[in-house]
Amino acid sequence: MARPRRKLGIILLAITLVLGLLPGASNAASIKWDKIDPALRALMDQNPDGTYSIIVEGATPAAQRANLHSNIQRAGRAAESILTKKGRPLATLGIIGGVAAAASYSTVASLSRDPFVAYIHYDAPVRATADPIDKANVWEQVVKATDAWDLGYTGKGVGVAVLDSGISSATDLTRPNNRVIARANLVGDSPTTLDPGGHGTHVAGIIAGDGYSAPADARSTYSGVAPDANLIDVRVLGSDGTTSLSTVIRGVQWTIQNRNLYNIRVMNLSLGAVVPSNYTYATDPLVAALDIAWLSGIVVVAAAGNSGPTAGTINTPGTGPMLITVGALDDNMTSKTGDDGVATFSSRGPTPDGYAKPDLIAPGRRIISLRAPGSYLDRLLPDRIMTTTVGSTYFRLSGTSMSTPIVAGTAALLIQKNPSLKPDQVKFILADTSRHLEQKDDANIVGAGVLDAHAAVNSNITGRANLNKRPADGFARAILPLLKGQPLTWRDTSYAGRTWTNITWDNITWDNITWDNILWDNITWDNITWDNITWDNITWDNITWDNITWDNDARDNNERDKDARDRNTRKNNDRSNRQHTVQSDSFTGPGVTID
């Protein structure tokens, strides 16, 4: 009887093998589109033979096996997967357990099937959000910064990280004392100047310039919001104002790792990328990294973008619900408030996830600040150079890039007054004390209103922003090793058919369903020891690229044939989603928009 059973088994095996050869028959061989960023899918549709810039996020281990090295182990596994699938790893993003890489269609497809890969992001271009134009400087009076100084708050001792194109050694930042206390270059080039772009210096001056080189009777006109704050120069933008998501993420990681050394309490991001209509912040790796920064104690202030006046145009990372997103006010070159309005270019909400943004607005047109002589913007816009009566020069720009540091500087004033403030408290105070804008009360245009620095530092209100807001998926994956063992509470004890009252760290499943149901507000983040996590011990210099064979892999050729069939099937069956292709074009626009 054994022989017939064996024959039947052989027949069944043969049938299985034949079926497995049919197009689309094997689920294991199918591309896992749900693990691929919609923007990346659009590029793959547009250019199947291209090479794509990607970020590969490693899958989390079971919660029971998570440890303080889990994130770097995830990054290591992701790098190994990229290599074996003929991709090219470029940089470790240990903060989110990922790797930046270059990859072909077949490599992305193969990675999507890898159980050790959680998600494959498009490493989208990011650009500065400046919009050059002309005229005068009255913004200090509009936001009442001078009144805040009169109360004794100048940002002294507070570190503000500026993730931008660099910061020059401008006199207004280095005299009488040098307040640029640290520098890091994540771009990877070797510029001949500290700020080859000019954008970062202008932003830094709005935060912490002291007007030292201006005429003595006009120094307050040329000062930043927090003229005694310390600046940390984290260069993530190239000279032309462009970069990639992965480079910015590396800058965020460096900032978190060095926050205690330089007392970094505020992070300024005057940059952004336009998002497609099918975007969600939950899968945005930059938002995930910034969620970590926020909950580690750093107030993150991001530009809304210059894509207005159309609704639904907030840029990433300003789409992150937790962060402070800043739009631009047009003060019409007067200190009066009755003629104020929202700058036409200022991006509007809601975000694709339905959140009202920006959170508030601040002056963003005709902002005079520091000049970086010989920089990209300096050469591009010589008519924006302004010369004072004593011969010193400044520079004039507009954009939400300029609005953002006004808010970042005000956050430094608040933290100087009360160093124990948490980011959620800072956000609450800034919003609650903002000024109502005449003619405008739409939260998707003005947020809570116009920044009022004096009201903010003069207030004794208490409260907490961001209640009931869920962090990004990448945050949840990365935080597992540090959160493990903490008590968790649930929104709904019967959510998604699970019996949550019986769930412990010994049997928890760390997935989207769990993240949706966690009451994140109830977690005591002060109990988290952020510095215990290992993020960056992969040394890329140890990889011998010459030993890698990038082509002529028979298994890869078979997968490539299967992927081509899958691609054609998807194109025929998914025509309704072609908006991915249209929207992805917005990622490749120019770095600076001239108004």
User: Tokens representing 448?
Assistant: 């809570």
Treating both helix axes as pointing N-terminal to C-terminal, what angle do 38-46 and 105-112 enclose, rounded to 10 degrees? 140
Strand partners, 394: 370, 386
* Beta-strand pair 324-330/299-303: parallel
85 in Cβ contact with 209 (< 8 Å): no
Kindly write down the DSSP assignment for every residue of 509-529, as one continuous string: --SHHHHHHB-GGGS-GGG--
Kindly write down the DSSP assignment for every residue of 57-115, as one continuous string: EEPPPPGGG--TTHHHHHHHHHHHHHHHTT-EEEEEEGGGTEEEEEEEHHHHHHHHT-T
Strand partners, 327: 361
Q: In whole angstroms, what separates CA 100 from the centre of its chain?
A: 15
**Catalytic machinery residues:** 164, 199, 401
Find the helix or strand (DSSP H, E) in which 279 lies.
Answer: none
DSSP assignment letter at 61: P
User: Tokens representing 495?
Assistant: 């959510």
From residue 500, alpha-carbon distances to 247, 469, 476, 480, 487 in Å are 39, 20, 18, 18, 13
Handedness of CA 447, 450, 454, 458 (dihedral sign): negative
Length of the chain: 595
